[in-house]
Structure 1
């Protein structure tokens, strides 16, 4: 026989909160019986699986990188065991990034009919550490379909040091009103050279300079990332921009009388006076203008004890 039970909002045990349900059932009589409980709802899931539309291959194997004579890099791999027979039926996605970047910002390349990927040195930042990975899926030529495989093991490499040219210039449009461009320059020159981003909305339009330029220092590489946002007025009529990064000409007023560097004194000699003191003499550099006074700084120390230098200042 069946009897109906109803849900009862009783007090749950503190350790089982939200994990237990209370049901209240009534039956008259005191005889001993065995009771079985079941839901009045059918709980199940089912799916029609078409094998050839749900194929996921194993990840590619033996991913490696080599330096070419041109300075470019070549990534190579092979299809996983059991997938070699597919040959050209496999498609691949290769992603690579600088080691410190997140994979969300990695560059992505889609390839088919090949198990190698050529990376131009012009697209890589000199003196940086890179990492790459690859995954595969069945292509349309195989008659199968399905998701990508898991990613292969990663491979890493170092790019050789480059010159002083700004590198890795790239721009991304937000789809509305802003084109953001970024590039890398060497830390060693940013204190003496200022770079600017210049652009043309059309080839016939006048060149404009983007401002302001933002800068982000990176501790992982000897470069800093500079960026600038170009406002986009009408993306439908201006769908192509020409951008360039170059060193800016700077003007600076230098007041000569505040930037005088004299030649060092010549013929330095030392003599002992009658009072057993030591007297230093030297020939000073003379100026064309007699009103320019000179000051001197004298250092002296015991032999082989330069770290214990004593200083004395003199005026001419």
Structure 2
């Protein structure tokens, strides 16, 4: 296919007189990084345990293994395989884990984890410069009307006046022109072999009132080596209707295909290859190259996507060739990018779960918890988690424990009486919030739970007994008789006019007669009431103050009350 060799036809009109060759380029598609699922934790004493997830489709194409390399400021160890300890596969992914046994840990030690394909993958090809020459396309294609009414096409190349012409020799050009609505397969083709960069088209060969479009390409004329045509130049004035690209049938394999390289004759090798879209979702490939006479391999740094199709993408990378390079053979090959990441054990410490968790009920009804942990270089915080036995762990209470405290007393008010509880504990590496470089990591697993049985509440029977005693005292016969007696005494203490000695003699037993008017007199203490008859017009008895009574001396001397005869 022409497009995979860099031969393609632009569709847009280019209004600039000397534009560079057009390219449709994008960055490489984003690949699902398997290292994003890699998680490694260590107990910082015996082992490092790693887990990762592979896409099932990707694993079917290229299964990957995890390698690790331990390094420090003193020395570097060789890369080793982390042997899988088990896998768990679903329809969409496969979860794997492995364990690195190690008994030596320090802050200055770090691990580099790298995923590599289980089976080596390589696509290489030997490349000879002079057998794969593909020149850069001409530029500055213009059309001018001659004095005779014909049309003169002219163009420029980067090889004009260049010393590379000595190597390339005479250049050959091919010019195509057509009407805008025609396909290029039906275009007229003209070949210029004399080194001229012009072509005159006779107006008699063109239809009047139609619009034409033209393009040009070139290659070395010598036939000693295999020469490829350059890409087509920019078109003059009009859009192009390119033919449909016949893409190759997609193969089942995900390996890159159709690796091709061409030399532009000056200082650049252009390589293209195809990658299946299904493969590009999970894997990334990089182009590497080296001279045939050298063992040093280099990576091509300018990889881009030049075209995208529903089933594949076309990648391209340009390899620089030093000036005045002897025509030495090159080897190019594609390598699968091995995902890798840096891992620092001291920042991913998952402590071993506490063990020997015990409980002891104290005399005051509280519970004392104690547990053990493995001795380590770091401090630990603890978290107590407890719940009722019939509840789930989601409905739990949590208590934070100070650093390196391996005992805790559950308050009595946090537990309900006559209930059954389950308690567990876990640990976490302690790090001061202000410290940047310190031990870090997630919570450990929970310890085995221990059961607590709370007794009945002893205060409730005492309260009930007091209430019953009060009720018994209120409802007893002696209490009722005492209440009646108090009531009688209270009634007798209320004043009653019929009982007063002011209104009858000591020996009087008959009912009182209507009283005549009584003059008020003054006693030694208090006030004297003035009594009137029932038919009197007085509204109510009058009370004479003591001060007013002093104005009557006779009444002060006579301190008796006169009764009517």
TM-score interval (norm. to shorter): 0.3 to 0.5
Q: Which has the larger radius of gyration?
A: 2
The structure with more helix, counted as a fraction of residues? 2
TM-score relative to the length of structure 2: 0.23
Higher relative contact order (CA 8 A, sep 6+): 2
